[in-house]
Every structure is written in C-alpha cells, then in structure tokens.
Amino acid sequence: MPKRKSGDAGRVSSGPAAVVTQQPITDTIEKNFMPYAMSVIVARAIPEIDGFKPAHRKLLYTMYTMGLMTGPRTKCANVVGQTMHLNPHGGDAIYDTLVRLTRGNESLLHPFIDSKGSFGKHYSSDMAYAAQRYTECKLDPFCAEIFAGISEDAVDFIPNYDNTTTEPTLLPTTFPNILVTPSVGIAVGMASSICPFNLAETCDAAIQMLYDPDTTTEQLLDILRAPDFPCGGILLYDREQMSEIYRTGRGSFRVRAKYRYDPKENCIDILEIPYSTSIELILKRISDLVKENKLREISDFRDEIDLSGFKLTLDLRRGTDPDKLMLKLFKLTTLEDSFDCNFNVLIDGSPKVLGVRAILEEWIRFRIGCVRRQLTFQLQKKTERLHLLIGLGKILLDIDKAIKIIRETKLDRDVVPNLMKGFDIDQPQAEFVADIRLRNINREYIMKQMQNIDDLKKETSELSDKIGDEKKLRRHIIAELKEIKKKYSKPRLTQIMYAEDVEFYDGSDDEPEDTSANVFFTAEGYLKSISAASLRMNAEQKLKDGDRIIWSGELSGSTELLFITDRQQAYKAKVSDFSGCKASDMGDYVPAKLSMDDGEKALLMIPVKKYADDICLVYIFENGKGARIPLSAYETKGNRRRLTGAYSGVSPLIGVMTDSDAEPKDMILIASNSRGAVISSALLPKMSTRTSAGNKLVNLKAGQTLTEASDDLSRFGDLKANRRDRIPAPLSKIALLDAEMSQMKIE
C-alpha cells in the first residue's frame, strides 16, 4: 500500500480512481454529532416540567391505556411488550425503567407502580431483580394524580415513532412531581440531578406561590424545609447552603447514615444510609480499612438485610466508643455522603437550570394551561349537550308533529332535513332527535331532559368565567393540591440536623483536655455545657417554651453523666461528649445525642464520680410502690453506653430522684383523687436488683393511682410539720394525709 503523502488529509481513495472530499470539522459536528446530542438531551436524559423523562412517560401511559389503573396485576413482560409500541429501545431498557418506579424497589417516596415479586433494592447493586416473566405490576392509585384530565385535552398528543398511535407530550400532573420524584440523568455536555422533596411540604410551597407569586426564596425555605429521601438518613442542614440551592438550582449538601447501638450485643446497627451510596460500596470500604489496620475497633461486619428492612451490623471490640467510631466512619466511608444538585429541567424543549422557586413558577404556568384546556374541553361538551337539549325542547311543543314528519318521510336520508325544516332546528339537533328510540318519544322522557337545561346553562356560565379568570384557575389548583396533601402526604423520612450541632472526626485519638464546665439539664431533655467565661458574659439561659432547668452545677469534662429514661433504660455519657455552647443556645437534645429510641425521654440526669453504695436512685411507681436502688447497681465493665432494665417495668414510673444514706429526702406523693402525702425516702429499704418492683408506700382505693412524685416541695408552697395543713396555691385542693386520714395509709 503506498504511503500517504503530506497534504493528503481529507482525501478518500476507493479503487483505482481517487475521490477527494473535503469537509470542515464544524460541519461534521453540526451534521453528525449535534442531532445525536440534541436527541439525548431532549428525548432521553433530562426530565421535563411534569417530572418525567420520555421513557417513564411512555411506560406509565402504556399501562394507563392497558387499563391497569384498576383490576388485577399483569405480568411485567406483558407491559414491556406493549410499551414497545411507544419506546423502541428494547425490553431490557424498558424493564429497567419499570423496576425503578415500583414500590418493591423503594427508590421513590411515592411509587407509581404497585408491584409483586422481587424488584431488588435501590440501595444494593448486587440485589438483582427477577426476570420480567416472573414479576407482576399495575398502576398505583397515586397515578390518578398524574393522569387527571388526560382524556379531556389537558395536554398535547403526538404520533409515536412509526405513526401507528399517539402519545402525550407531557402528563398533566396535579402536583409538582418534578420536585417530589428524584431524577438523575447524564446527557451530552450536560446533566441533571434533582433530589426529592416531601409531598406535603411541596404542595404547601406550591399553594404559597399560587397565593402570592412574589413569595421569596427565604420564605419558601420555611415551608419546603429540605430534601426528603425515601431511604431516610440525617441531612446536615446549613441554611445558607440550602438557600443557594433553592435560588440557583446548583449546590450540594451532606447526608449521614442513621444508626443504633445495641449494648447487649456490643454492636452498631446501621438502619438508614445516604441515597447516593450502596451497601456494597460501604462494605467494601470498611473491608479495605480493616485490612489496612485503620479500623481496629471493629471485630466483624455483615449485611443483615431481611424482610424487616435495611440493616448493616458492625460488631465492636471491648472498650470501643460507638459514637467516636461512627464519626470516624462518617469521615472515611460513604456512610456520610454528599448529594450534588443540578436542577436542569426541559422547559418548552430547552434545558434550563432553575432554582426551586423558578421550578414552581414554571409548574404553575404549565398546570394553569392544563386546567384551562381541561375546562375548555368540558365547556365544549356541555355546550354541545345544551345545544342538543334546546333542540329537543322544541319537539316538546308538538311531539305528534315530529312523529308525523318521520312517518310520512319516504326516504331515510330526508328525515333529518324534514325535521330541520319542521321545527327550525339545525342538523346536529335534528340528528339527536331522529336517533331517539321510539319508547322515549314521550312527555316524561323529554321533561326529564329539559330539567338539565338550567343546570347546564349554570355550569357553562361558571366554566366560562373560570376559564377567563386566572385567579379562579389558581383557586382551582389550590383546592386540588390541598386534596392531594390530605390523601397522600407522609411524614418526613429524612431527619434534619443543623450542621453546627454535628460532631466531626478530627483524626485525633487523644483524650480531650479535662476542663470544667457549667452544666444545665432541663425537664424537656436539653443539656448545656457552658464554660465559666461564657457564662460570665451572659448568664441568662435560653429555654424552650414551657421548659425549666432541673439540674445545674459545675463539672469536669471527664465526669460521667447517667441519664434515666421513661423506657426502663439508662444511658451513660461524659460531659466532654457534649459540645460547648452559650447560654443563649438551646443546647444538645439528649435523646438525639445519645441515639435513644423514638419517643424516649430522659427524666433524670446524675453526675457520677463514683458508683457508690450510699447514693441511691428512688423510683416511685403509679401503683403506689417505690424502689430504692443503690448507684453501684449501675456500674458496668467496659464502656457501655446504654443499660436496659434500669428499673422495674411492672407499673408506669411517675417520679425518680436521688438521695443518700446521710441525707434522706422528703418526697411528696400525689394521687389521682387530688390528695397527697409527704414521706421520707429513708422509709424505703435498698434493693439488691435494679428491676425490683419495690415496696408499697400508700394504700390506694380501686381505680386510684399515684400521678406525681417530687422532692421539690417548694413547688407546693410552705409545707408545715402538721400534716393536716392544706397545701397552698397553686394546688390548694390537695390535702396531706396522716395516720388518721386512712384513704392513703403509709406503711
């Protein structure tokens, strides 16, 4: 083969005769590359204002035309085959799309497809879904909100790829699905990444924009608080960062896994992970860190996903601090991961990066157009019906004449013209009259039809007014959004935690300096650790409405704190575990800080320098019994953070306090009949076990219970030694008992 000479670039040789072609690279890009790039952008990877990509829209519309809104499920293979009339990309691609929309895959807050069978999980790349011939599906009832009005000309239809049928260009979603359904796509030269938001919050934000189009981004932040992922997790909230995302449509935020420490098994159960990672990626990273000897705290780790849901378990070595380990894992693995936002949406066929406010504006414009078209369609149908009934009304004047005209007409084609001439009606009216069955040519039938004329006139008038009045259209959409929120709203799954309240791993294993701090613990479960210098600058404590301080004092950072909760559990932490704050701050919320169970509340905090036997916890129960447990019973080997069975669960706990052998405390016990007694904690003997049911303090009548127990007698006024004295306001109706008052006899 002869060598190519310099200057021969662009020449193509075929056979003995050389054909020379020259084409600028710009023309090549324009003619060959640009059509492909635009096709990927417009018809594949970027979602439109209805929140769907073309593949999703074609699939859901096919299922809608198959009648799968109602009735039993059908095989997914059947749906895939039918969808090929609109989507020619092949069965595997269609089935991949279907899987992500199902309830079983758990990738959406509000799934569009009700599924049966194995559809894998979005948080696992190895958990494969079953073949389409084994699985079944139908549309979820929630889909009624994305197809509302589609049969009433709410959106445009275009021919499919081979002109054998038609498909909608958009779906007339009655809520801002673009913000509710997550969407990630990579096109040519651009991409889209839209995080999901809570449906109820999104509807509220859209309603606010409909009421006040001048609503600012900052106002929307107070309504649409933050993204909400179907996998839950903890979102590290930075208002400035979130405001930038809402304003520009670009930015990122971080999401942490949610975990629970099991002191019995000395293991950590990770229950929720960030949406952008997978369990295989986390396990591989942990495995690598263990091999590199960077995670000595873990003895074993495993995937424990089962029918109850997601769970990743880490077995810990003795003495491991689970919270510090998790901070380390947040730093070194994707148990804390970022979600990059790029709100790129197709608007009228053009890709645009929009903020949340701009997206809501575009959706409202789109939805107003859908509703106007739908109402116009309804108006046209009602107008046509009214016109026909008006023609029928003229027949009422002389039914016999109509019958005579029809009977005497020789040719069938002349019936309509003769009726038009005989009653001065037009052709559609005459056709309607001519098609009436013989049995309906009676006065009763015609009178019933006439009764509908007034209703139709009123309805057509109202529709005309609404179509021409944008304010009425907005009110119509607001009513739809309120109904959707009422029917389909769900609580937030992703917990919001302010970034400034979150601890981060600093890479140091050194013990913190043992400095002292002023500690304040409140009845609502907030703890403040304030330095002396900070307290001198501002001693006025900020508290939640209705909250009060129940313990305060100066403690060293190494002092251990014992928290007693209302779930028969005790939690241990050190003062240094709580971040320093100012008096004007709310402080750390102890149940969240110590990863307590949902709804669990800390009732008492005890600073412990030594688990001595002469210091006791006094528990008072609803059944009139009390138990006095020495503090030494709560001493444990190793660094356990939670103790179950902290006290008896036979009867509900109504009060817990501390005392000592040297200084017993007077306690007031109040019963449900608004009577009470003051007794000394010294009356209670010490129990050897934490779960002891205790000794009876008072005899209660049938149906009576103790409702309150407290060692803060100052709350009830100046109690004198005479036990017959009345307790002053604010509880003036409570009388103290003594031996003569036998309703509650002290043993």
Judged on CB neighbours under 10 Å (0-12, 13-18, 19+), 568 is middle
> CA angle, corner 115, sides to 109 and 119, nearest 5?
80
Structural domains of the chain ordered from first start? 52-172 (3.90.199.10), 258-334 (3.30.1360.40), 361-488 (1.10.268.10), 511-607 (no CATH), 610-747 (2.120.10.90)
The answer, yes or no, to whether residue 701 has pLDDT greater than 50, is yes
* Spatial contact of 135 and 103, defined as CB atoms under 8 Å apart: no
| 13 touches 2 (CB < 8 A) | no
The 8 Å CB, 24+ separation contacts for 319-322 are 319/638, 319/639, 320/266, 320/639, 321/639, 321/641, 322/259, 322/261, 322/268, 322/641
Read off the pLDDT of residues 30-83 as tens digits, 9 standing for 90 and up.
Answer: 777 777 777 777 767 899 999 999 999 999 999 999 999 998 999 999 999 999
**Residues 524-553: tens digit of each pLDDT:** 999 998 888 788 777 788 888 888 888 988
Residue 259 falls in the annotated catalytic set = no
With cut-offs at 50, 70 and 90, classify the pLDDT of residue 718.
Answer: low
| Mean pLDDT score across all residues of the chain | 86
| Strands of the sheet with 675-680, listed across from one edge | 706-710, 666-671, 675-680, 735-736
Q: How confident is the model at residue 495 (pLDDT cuts 50, 70, 90)?
A: very high
Half-sphere exposure in the Cβ direction for 747 (13 Å, CA)? 12
For residue range 589-606, what is the model confidence (pLDDT) as tens digits?
A: 999 888 888 889 999 999
Residue 17: predicted pLDDT = 56
Backbone angles phi, psi at 479, to 5 degrees: -60, -40
Half-sphere CA count of 313, side-chain side, radius 13 A: 13
* Residue 417, helix vs strand vs coil: helix
For residues 252 and 341, the answer to whether their CB atoms sit within 8 Å is: yes
Collapsing DSSP to helix, strand or coil, 139 comes out as strand
Catalytic residue among 36, 134, 161, 211: 134
Per-residue model confidence (pLDDT) at position 531: 83
- pLDDT, residue 715, reads 65
DSSP characters over 293-342: T--TTEEEEEE--BTTB--EEEEE-TT--HHHHHHHHHHHSTTEEEEEEE
Instruction: Check residue 41 and report its DSSP letter.
Output: I
pLDDT of 721 strictly over 60: no
pLDDT digits (tens, 9 = 90+) for 407-463: 888 888 888 888 888 888 888 888 888 888 877 777 777 778 778 888 888 899 999
Q: Which residue has the tokens 């749906």?
A: 79
In this prediction, residue 683 carries a pLDDT of: 82
Ramachandran class of 266: left when φ > 0, alpha when ψ lies in -120 to 50, beta otherwise: left
What would the pLDDT profile of 613-654 be if each residue is shown by its tens digit?
A: 888 889 999 988 889 999 988 888 767 788 888 898 889 988
